[in-house]
Amino acid sequence: MEVNRAAARTRTGGVDSGYAWLRLAIAVVLSTVGNVGLWSYVVALPAVQADFGVARGAASLPYTFTMLGFAFGSVLMGFLLDRFGVMLPLIIGAVSLGVGYVACAYAPSLGVLALGHGVLGLLGCSSLFAPLMTDVSHWFARRRGFAVSIAASGNYLSGAIWPPIEQHLIASIGWRDTYLCLGLVCIVVMLPLAFLFWRRAPLHETAPTAAEVRSMQRPLGLSPNTLQVLLGIAGLGCCVAMSMPQVHLVAYCADLGYGPAVGAEMLSMMLGLGVVSRVGSGIVADRIGALPTLLIGSAAQGASLILYIGFNGLASLYAISALFGLVQGGIVPCYALIVRDYFPQKEAGARVSIAVMATVIGMALGGWMNGLIFDLTGSYEAAFANGVAWNVLNFAIVLWLLLRSGTWRARGPALGAPA
């Protein structure tokens, strides 16, 4: 009977249907366009620093404000998603990105620019990453890990596509006019697509058994909030580590004499390979579970960061950045999958957003912290070492949670979703 219900949902445009895949494709387009807000300042940083005549740590503040806004906005958008569906957050995001970029283009000081970027993160970027991952997770049961990883890949597709384009525009027309162009693209492309998400996500989970209820009440033998906090600390650690190459690679290459254009190209390559990592990690998570997949990604990311400390030749940086992209892309989507494994569907929007908030705070903290370390030491070696230390914290927490789970097998779709 459950098989018949699943087949009926597929035929009528429900879970695992052709409509679900179409919805996923549109989500990737939205994410690819809108997540330019997460990467634009990484490329603009050297130009902004020269324009305002400030130190590297101070020049990193707009990025930090973007990520802090993104972090807290993710929680707000998660609650809106649970209450109204994903269309409302997407509309808010499209309008906010368009207006926000125009406002940033006319910023008279670095402080005003930082506040503008905070709004870009709070109401713009936050409407895309966690809300789209959560929405997609409701539309898939059999291949949830794969589908969520595809949705999350829009973030890295954005990072692969936009940096070379933005670098060319900045060199041609300056960073301010470039921001005007970005705002126009966001609102023209995203707003019409947002209205295509008018259908609410289906509630496809069956009534839980008594054992499943107990499992949800004490996930991994912990209270739900304790597990949420541990996932948050783990996410903070992995993303402080991740932020060093992602935020400072363009500036690092410029400091080494290779030029910001080479850094933007290297970042684009890294994030393009991150798409491969995200999709591959989703497939692996469907087979062995999200926690083991997260542990593997954490270990590989830490090893890649160590390589940055020992090598800074041009060919070496290309190779290490390619490796870093291939191993770290699947880390953040695993937190969404873990939430869907161990928490009820009705809480997914808020809990995934809280988990993502912690990772984004890690990116914000790391972006500022590594810029400050550079100002204090005059090089990025200590900043890379700082990233390795935070990565060790992430690895230790994930390993402990995995040992508590007692298995390397996936739990399967949450609460009776058809398999």
Domain-located, residue 12: no
The predicted pLDDT at position 216 comes to 56
Residue 419 has a pLDDT of 29
Paired tokens of 323: 């490796």
- Residue-wise pLDDT tens for the chain (419 aa)? 444 455 444 455 678 888 999 999 999 999 999 999 988 998 898 899 999 999 877 888 898 899 889 888 988 998 898 889 999 999 999 999 999 999 999 999 999 999 999 999 999 999 998 899 889 988 998 888 889 889 988 888 898 889 889 989 999 999 999 999 999 999 999 999 999 999 987 765 554 544 444 455 677 889 999 999 999 999 999 999 999 998 889 889 989 999 888 998 898 899 889 889 989 999 999 899 999 999 999 999 999 999 999 899 999 999 999 999 999 988 998 998 999 888 887 787 888 889 988 998 898 889 889 888 998 998 899 999 999 999 999 999 999 999 998 765 545 444 333 32
pLDDT at 257: 92
Q: How far apart are CA 292 and CA 288, in angstroms?
A: 7
In a domain, 16, yes or no: no
Token representation of residue 269: 């390559």
Whether residue 17 lies inside any domain: the answer is: no
pLDDT recorded at residue 203: 63
Contact 197, 87 (CB under 8 A): yes
Q: Are 137 and 119 in contact (CB under 8 A)?
A: no
DSSP 12: T
In a domain, 10, yes or no: no
Q: Pinpoint the alpha helices (H) of 218-259.
A: 224-255
| Per-residue pLDDT, 52 | 94
pLDDT the model gives residue 313: 92
Tell me, yes or no, whether 204 lies in a domain.
no
Q: Residue 125's domain spans which residues? A: 26-198+212-406
CA distance 92 to 307: 41
Give the per-residue pLDDT at 217: 60
Contact (Cβ atoms closer than 8 angstroms) between residue 52 and residue 110: yes
Report yes or no on 21 lying in a domain.
no
Number of domains in the chain: 1
Number of neighbouring beta carbons within 10 Å of residue 55: 12
Q: Is residue 237 part of a domain?
A: yes
pTM to 2 decimal places: 0.76
Residue 43, CB-side half-sphere exposure with 13 Å CA sphere: 31
CB atoms within 10 A of CB 214: 11
Q: What is the CA radius of gyration of the chain?
A: 21
In terms of C-beta density within 10 A (0-12 exposed, 13-18 middle, 19 or more buried), how is residue 84 classed? exposed
Tokens representing 4? Answer: 């018949």
Would 97 be classed as within a structural domain?
yes
pLDDT at 10: 47
**Neighbouring residues of 316: CB distance < 8 A, sequence distance ≥ 6:** none
Q: What is the CATH number of the domain that holds 129?
A: 1.20.1250.20
φ, ψ of residue 206 in degrees (nearest 5): -80, 170
Angle at 212 between CA 12 and CA 136, to 5 degrees: 35
Q: What does the alpha-carbon distance between residue 359 and residue 332 come to, in Å, rounded to a whole number?
A: 7
The pLDDT assigned to 410 comes to: 47
